Amino acid sequence: MLAQADTFLQSVDQNFRHAITFLDLPEGLSERIMQCNSTYTVRFGVRLRGRMHSFVGWRSVHSEHCEPVKGGIRFAPDADAEEVEALAALMTLKCALVDVPFGGSKGALKIDPREWTPQELERITRRFTQELTKRGLIGPGLNVPAPDVGTGEREMAWMMDEFRRANPMDVVNARACVTGKPLSKGSIAGRTEATGRGVQFAIQNYLRDLRTPGIGGRRVLKGASVVVQGFGNVGYHAAKFLSEQDGARITVVAERDGFVANHDGISVEALKQHQLSRGSVLGFDGAKSFAGDMTGIEEACDIVIPAAMENAIHGANAERIKAHLIVEAANGPVTFEADRIVRARGATILPDLYVNAGGVVVSYFEWVKNLTHIPFGLMERRRREHRNQTIATALERMTGKPFPADMRDQFLEAGAEIDLVRSGLEDVMRSTWESIAGLLEAQPQLGDYRTAAYVTAIRRVAAAYEAIGI
């Protein structure tokens, strides 16, 4: 049983209260920013398997200083209103930190998706969407959900379709009512991988920055050992990019039923195929299995990436976390108390507000694409290609030599949607890192990256409130 001070919402509140001690906000404004504006609880019935089943869900709107509000919807058996409020608060701060024009929201349905067939889940999701639609808690200019734990593009497609049916006179922008949809339903290339891709960029930016301690003094990912907790959307993509592109060794993958380990590195793609076919990472023949053992996150490594749920590192296990660098891919995986313990041991934490912001950044690109009704790059792609071709030809004529064959394709390439999305995400992750690390350098008394991220975000939300006179 966790101590009272360790609940997720309390950790978020304590981080917030700690950060505002470094800010000089007008009286009452910090309370206004911190409090959740509203939380709607919905109970509804769906007739399934010959009888009525009742479900409960929530949608919290944390802050409307900027609209629409944005945040994922999770399907989880242990979801509750307090958890949703904590997640909504993080969304407000995250959007402000990465400078995307959304307020913070979050939703959940208390359900174990594994207990229902896809057809049943579709009916439940559509009923939930009807309730959200009735209350103005979904809509392109109001509130824009996205996938989170237990939901993905399939659920987003159902939600969008249900919203569209409920608004037959306003179908033009209906696609923008959710993000993280399937590509065929108006998503953007790279949305599914976005959060994991952002995790990769966050680690790269940290290691590149000579102001940071790196990982035990080292600054390269090649050969670095990485423990990943949670092998879902975020954990899988982060592990895939770090191992396949940066040469990191994924030595442990911890899941809800135990963990698998291989000191030489686990093949991420092979493990994913095993998980998809068997329903578990356990029993994978490229690693040793530790069934029922929930201590995978404590294994010795350079980098640990908690990418499952909140409170994964808490007061009781923080002393046993051996990683040099803790990269918060999940929301709230390190409690306020554990944060102090692991940092006192010399470890560095890259905070969730920054690390997992890739999802909302690319959701923003998707939302803009839906509202403009034109794919990114369509108007200029060929023009850019012709211009590059002209430059290549001019260089060849001027030098009398052929353009290097190994560079030609890359130079002429004018940028597919996926390239533009990755480049936009990389840009946001880079500039956000600079604002966090730059602030910590200017004000070392802030003490850590989380506080620097909170201070940056709260300042921006405060400025928005002050500008509208609240």
Give the interface with ligand NAD as residue ranges (CB under 6 A). 147-150, 195, 229-235, 254-256, 307-309, 329-331, 356, 359
Q: With respect to ligand NAD, which residue has the nearer C-beta, 214 or 258?
A: 258
- Give which of 121, 91, 124 is closest to 107, Cα–Cα: 91
Q: With respect to ligand NAD, which residue has the nearer C-beta, 101 or 438?
A: 101
Q: Is position 106 annotated as part of the catalytic site?
A: yes
Cα distance between residue 108 and residue 92, in whole Å:
17
Alpha-carbon distances of 214 from 206, 431, 459, rounded to whole Å: 7, 19, 28
Q: With respect to ligand NAD, which residue has the nearer C-beta, 140 or 196?
A: 196
Cα distance between residue 381 and residue 420, in whole Å:
11
Q: With respect to ligand NAD, which residue has the nearer C-beta, 232 or 438?
A: 232
- DSSP codes joined into one string, 131-156: HHHHTT-SBTTTEEEEE-TT--HHHH
Q: Both tokens of residue 143? A: 């509130």
CA atoms within 13 A on the CB side of 95: 28
Residue nearest to ligand NAD (CB): 232
- Give which of 107, 117, 114 is closest to 57, Cα–Cα: 107
Nearest approach, Cβ of residue 171 and ligand NAD (Å):
26
Cα distance between residue 182 and residue 152, in whole Å:
9
Q: Pick left, alpha or beta for residue 464 (phi over 0 → left; psi -120 to 50 → alpha; otherwise beta).
A: alpha
- Give which of 187, 181, 136 is closest to 160, Cα–Cα: 181
Nearest approach, Cβ of residue 272 and ligand NAD (Å):
10
Q: Pick left, alpha or beta for residue 233 (phi over 0 → left; psi -120 to 50 → alpha; otherwise beta).
A: alpha
Q: Where are any strands of DSSP class E within 266-409? A: 288-291, 303-306, 325-327, 348-350
Q: With respect to ligand NAD, which residue has the nearer C-beta, 186 or 235?
A: 235
Q: Both tokens of residue 33? A: 């920013």
Q: With respect to ligand NAD, which residue has the nearer C-beta, 309 or 446?
A: 309
- Give which of 223, 84, 233, 266 is closest to 153, Cα–Cα: 233
Cα distance between residue 288 and residue 178, in whole Å:
40
C-alpha radius of gyration, the chain, whole number? 23
Nearest approach, Cβ of residue 255 and ligand NAD (Å):
5
Q: With respect to ligand NAD, which residue has the nearer C-beta, 255 or 462?
A: 255
Nearest approach, Cβ of residue 73 and ligand NAD (Å):
10
Nearest approach, Cβ of residue 390 and ligand NAD (Å):
41
Amino acid at residue number 340? R
Q: With respect to ligand NAD, which residue has the nearer C-beta, 214 or 230?
A: 230
Nearest approach, Cβ of residue 252 and ligand NAD (Å):
11
Cα distance between residue 73 and residue 285, in whole Å:
34
Choose the catalytic residue: 106, 181, 240, 369. 106
Cα distance between residue 448 and residue 15, in whole Å:
11
Cα distance between residue 322 and residue 227, in whole Å:
10
Nearest approach, Cβ of residue 293 and ligand NAD (Å):
11
The contacts of residue 464 (CB under 8 Å, 6+ apart) are 65, 66, 96
Amino acid at residue number 253? V
Nearest approach, Cβ of residue 275 and ligand NAD (Å):
8
Nearest approach, Cβ of residue 276 and ligand NAD (Å):
11
User: How many helices (H) and strands (E) are present in the chain, helices listed first?
Assistant: 15, 12
Q: With respect to ligand NAD, which residue has the nearer C-beta, 109 or 462?
A: 109
Q: Which residues are catalytic?
A: 106
